[in-house]
Amino acid sequence: MIKKILGIAPTLESDGSYSPSKLALKLATKQKSDYESIVYKKYQGKKSKILVIFTEQKNMTMQNGKLFSTGNHPVEALLPMMHLKSAGFCFEIVTPTGKPVVFEMWAFPEKDENVKKFYEEFKSEFEQPKKLQDFVNMTIVETESFAAVFIPGGHGAMLGIPEDKNVGKILSWAHENNLFTITLCHGPGSLLATTADKQPFLYKNYKMAVFPDSVDKMTPKIGYLPGQMLWGLSEKLKSLGAHIVNTKADKTVCLDRKLVTGASPLAANELGKLAVKSLLENLS
């Protein structure tokens, strides 16, 4: 009751999961993003496609058994895509089984007309994405058409994606064919998929920006998460040999070889700009 009065009690949803408290939403989300509308010299080559792997899962189980209402963070997903589209790239949108993309709609920037317009433009593809398995079976041979793989963040990226063998196959395919891999916040959890079947971690000794475990451990105090997470992403990546370049959930972005990463939702705009710059320089 006291937490409700103070606005720090997570909000119970109809399916029994919890979304962030009023205070957490006020502190951690914005009604308008920092997206910069930039006029890029459009890419017109053959490698114009970006494979975007979204999560289709919504609820994350906490240590206390409560469910966190998650999915893909809309700002982390849409802002980088907006930059990439402005630079002439198009998207192949997939989820592991073809179920609809799940967004953390409580984090949607409702007063951002640019983001809302972009979301509506791709809404039908978010609702009816392609199956990742079909991409692995059929399209993976079309290397000449693709420039990068993009895996947005949101805690939902830690659900199923890190254990998905098809995600591991895609990341290995991208690595072997000199494509870029773009991800941010909790999205780097996807990189763990490269360790499937006891394979060595593909990104050992890579520098990357990742959402800090220290912040995840702190957020239950303000009702962002309804409890402590089962495992820490940064800790797991470091244990496999990754070098985390940030200590805060800030605008940090990082480029190491063909891996482009960002630290948090605050980095989404900068990640989009860095991704475009890296792709255009590499493909020119």
Catalytic residues: 185
Q: Which of 34, 36, 22 is nearest to 106 (CA)?
A: 22
**Can you tell me the distance from the alpha carbon of 71 to that of 158, in angstroms, rounded to the nearest whole number?**
9
**Can you tell me the distance from the alpha carbon of 36 to that of 21, in angstroms, rounded to the nearest whole number?**
29
**CB-CB contact of 62 with 228 (8 Å):** yes
**CB-CB contact of 132 with 139 (8 Å):** no
**Can you tell me the distance from the alpha carbon of 194 to that of 197, in angstroms, rounded to the nearest whole number?**
9
Query: Which DSSP letter does residue 38 get?
Result: -
Strand order in the sheet with 259-262: 130-131, 90-95, 49-53, 146-151, 180-184, 259-262, 253-256
Q: Quick one: CA dihedral 137, 151, 163, 242, positive or negative?
A: positive
Q: Quick one: CA dihedral 263, 94, 109, 29, positive or negative?
A: negative
